[in-house]
Amino acid sequence: MAVDVKMPNVGESVQEGVIHKWRVKSGDFVNRDDVLVELETDKATVEVVAESAGAIEIIKKQGETVAIGEVMARIDNAAAAPAGGAAKAAAPAPVAVAPPPPTTHAAPSDASLSPAVRRMTEEHHINPASVAGTGKDGRITKGDVIGHMEGGAKPAAATLAAPAPVKPQVAAGSRAERREPMTMLRRRIAERLVHAQETAAILTTFNEIDMSGVMKLRSDYKDKFKEKYGINLGFMSFFIKAAVESLKAFPAVNGWIDGTDIVYHDYYDIGVAVSSNRGLVVPVIKNADMLSAAELEMAVSDYGKRARDGKLTVDEMTGGTFTVSNGGVFGSLMSTPILNPPQSAILGMHKIQERPIVVNGEIVIRPMMYVAVSYDHRIIDGRESVGFLVKIKEYVEDPARLLLGV
């Protein structure tokens, strides 16, 4: 009896996906729960596993678009497992001639690489064996690959015998062109950005924040914070908490337009813009007003890691009443963030830079950050947008107000 492998229903708004990569070949014998294929939707990368053991026949090829419920492959569960499979699995590993240096890890197998790392190494023609892994059990992380590309992480001595292939250099004066299909996520991003520009009256207001208070607080408690919670104390938790309190004071900023109605939200689901190798994604922290600073930092860190590994679910990127984006991590000093429809506003954080400012009639050097709020002028007036950003400024410059709720 054959078991169909179908495109799963991964979310209410997702109607189709693209087969990014088959992890098996036609004729292979697969076991139950083996990962068969990676699907790319306009929201997330989805792995489909085998529901039954048997020999697989692939019907849809890599790169093809499949609709929800469409058959991609079939598993013949009457097929017998190949003889000698168990013996092969039990074969002892070869004995090393000499123990490797303490920092050297065995060359990772393709199966040990996350989908995001595998795609990154393929796109940049990097041999995984030439990258020193710092993850658990020596696994390669995206940061390891980036460090390798930037020359910050050198391959271990044992891996120098297998250098990464060199990407062909374009000859001087060449006018060659390359055409590559847009990923579903990139197409979706393009559609949503154009939709936002066409349907909303977008304006941006700016301000600057003296980060001295937050930076001193982080310096005083970062060690105790990490010791207790196992995570670094960053800036995002302060800005998310400041945004939530400011949204309470200006509810229109937490709402949106639906036809001729304004929908106000009495909850605070905060989207956090995260960059991945597939593009910008916005996972949502639900009920952010009910979370502590530690819980917010853990949520942001977890989303960032899983975004880079392509492990975010559709549900985690659905919804959101307001978004926070931090372009400062890339060195941006000032920008005008664009709305994330149907939301009506987005906060843009930027790089912290020491600048001379006047305090009590004296010129002093302070760590300053420009912040921006882009908003839909159809629902948010200038007074509200400026007042909202000023309130964020007040909370971040005096973080004790967040604790006291004043």
Name the catalytic one among 33, 125, 195, 377: 377
Q: How far apart are CA 402 and CA 61, in angstroms?
A: 54
Q: Is 381 a catalytic residue?
A: yes
DSSP code per residue over 139-167: PPPHHHHHHHHHTSSPPPGGGTTSPPPPP
Q: How far apart are CA 239 and CA 356, in angstroms?
A: 23
Dihedral pair phi/psi, residue 145, rounded to 5°: -65, -45
The strand ranges marked E within 185-336 are: 202-210, 256-258, 261-263, 270-272, 274-276, 279-281, 284-285, 322-326
Q: Is 377 a catalytic residue?
A: yes
> Cβ of 255: how many Cβ atoms within 10 Å?
23
Q: Which tokens go with 155?
A: 């391959």
SS3 190: helix
Q: Which tokens go with 46?
A: 């989805």
SS3 201: coil
- Look at residues 406, 256, 225, 313 and name the one whose alpha carbon lies nearest to residue 9: 313
- Judge contact between 343 and 320, C-beta under 8 A: yes
| Block residue for tokens 């790319």 | 40
Taking the CA atoms of the chain, what radius of gyration do you get in angstroms?
25
Q: Which amino acid is at 120?
A: M
Element (H, E) at 120: helix 115-123
Name the catalytic one among 125, 210, 381, 398: 381
- Judge contact between 352 and 370, C-beta under 8 A: no
- Look at residues 243, 346, 320 and name the one whose alpha carbon lies nearest to residue 289: 243
Q: Are strands 322-326 and 270-272 parallel, antiparallel or unpaired?
A: parallel
Catalytic residues: 377, 381
